[in-house]
Structure 1
Amino acid sequence: MTTVVLKMLCILLFAVFISAQVMPMTDFDLEKMGGKWYLVGFATNAKRFVTHHKADMKMATAVMVPTEDGDLDISYGHLKSDGSCFRMHHLAKKTEITGRFVFDNERKSLGFCFYYALVHTIKTQGGESEILSKLHTRTTKITDDLKEKFKQFRLDTGILEENIAILPMNGECSDAKVSHPSKKI
């Protein structure tokens, strides 16, 4: 019964977080963001996604580390098919709104629930805005219910179905082989 109540609470909090304004949760706790996460879902309105990226995307890992200044250090690792590791790193700087961070001329909002986090990005460049949502979970398994809620949320906010991906399982990066350490996913 407790698990059902917690899941319902998470679903409710997820719905509040992903509103049109994409406001972070009112009880956002940066310390709870710390640790290892799995990137399991990806959605965007970027035109190049389906033709250039979607077919090759697989689950990645993310390590989020809160800093003493209240910022969030985020490192991604993705095992490529040749066995090398693609890495990406961001330092998300806190803003006056708790749970909202900025970096690289992008606005990012992070939301936390007991089981998952949603990183929502709006990138504006040359007068055009791209929306990107990444669904993270604490385990490599994602429930059918959460998959459907993520897909429906993105559809409701104008992302086309072909631009929504639930990422297939993938191995994890080791420190042995690293390629392109400064590129972004």
Structure 2
Amino acid sequence: MKILCVLLFAVFASAEVMPMPDFDLEKMGGKWYLVGFATNAKSFVKSHKADMKMGTAMLVPTKDGDLDLTYTHLNSDGSCFRMNNLAKKTDIPGRFVFYNQRWRNDNDMRVVDAIFDEYAIVHTIKTKEGKSEVLNKLHSRTTKITEDLKEKFKQFSLDTGVLEENIAILPMNGTFSQFLRSLI
């Protein structure tokens, strides 16, 4: 019953999460490091959290106001994982929608907080077969983030229904560090 209440809270809390009021598509563009990851997906702690490492994101604004997303990170077997999506703009600046072919889910993505030359917090509601999950990402222009920013991301994730054990500040992978810096 407790898990059901947490999940319901997360869905309702996420529905109320709005993009930041002064979102700037052009300033969102460029190379980012994915340094924080938080989700209420049940399998995260058991299957993925321990193996996750920092990755990169390249966000490219299109002439139509959409956002081309490319995420890259190192898999635990040493191979490189890359995922691309075209996030379509909505009537609300800072809110985008896309269908992820790989995971077969609908995504409602909102840029909720940013200082564009430092960090961005992105909140996504992922829906598949009528079930929704929350995914929060912390993007940074550098591989190092402040304790205040870590705490801000953690508190935002808790406020959107993510359990503390499902919040991760991602470590750099030593063998992948040079590769990450040279990407994109």
Q: TM class, shorter-chain normalised?
A: 0.7 to 0.9
Shifted more, 164-173 versus 132-141: the winner is: 164-173
**In the alignment, what sits opposite 1:113?**
115
Residue number among 4, 10, 23 corresponding to 1:28 in the alignment: 23
| Paired letter, 1:56 | D
| 1:168 CA drift (Å) | 0.4
TM-score of the superposition, structure 2-length normalised? 0.79
Q: Note closer, same or farther for the CA distance 1:172–1:79 as it changes in structure 2 (3 Å cut).
A: farther
Query: What does the per-residue CA deviation read over 1:143-179, in whole Å, with 9 as the maximum and x for residues that have no partner?
Result: 111111111221222211111000001225859xxxx
Deviation at 1:21, TM superposition (A): 1.9
SS at match of 2:172: coil
Q: Secondary structure of the residue that 2:136 maps to in structure 1? A: strand
Kindly indicate whether residue 94 of structure 2 is the aligned counterpart of residue 99 of structure 1.
Answer: yes
Q: Is the contact between residue 61 and residue 172 of structure 1 (CA under 8 Å) also seen in structure 2?
A: no
Q: Which residue pairs with 2:165 in the alignment?
A: 162
Structure 2 distance, partners of 1:49, 1:125, is 16
2:105 is the counterpart of 1:132 = no
Q: Percent identity?
A: 72
- Corresponding residue for residue 70 of structure 1: 65
Mean alpha-carbon deviation: is it higher for 95-104 or for 150-159?
150-159
* Structure 1 gap ranges (5+): 1-17, 176-185
1:61 maps to which of 56, 65, 68: 56
- CA displacement at 1:71 relative to structure 2: 0.3
* d(CA) in 2 for partners of 1:136, 1:109: 13
RMSD: 2.0
How far, CA to CA, are the matches of 1:79 and 1:173 in structure 2?
12
**d(CA) in 2 for partners of 1:86, 1:137:** 19
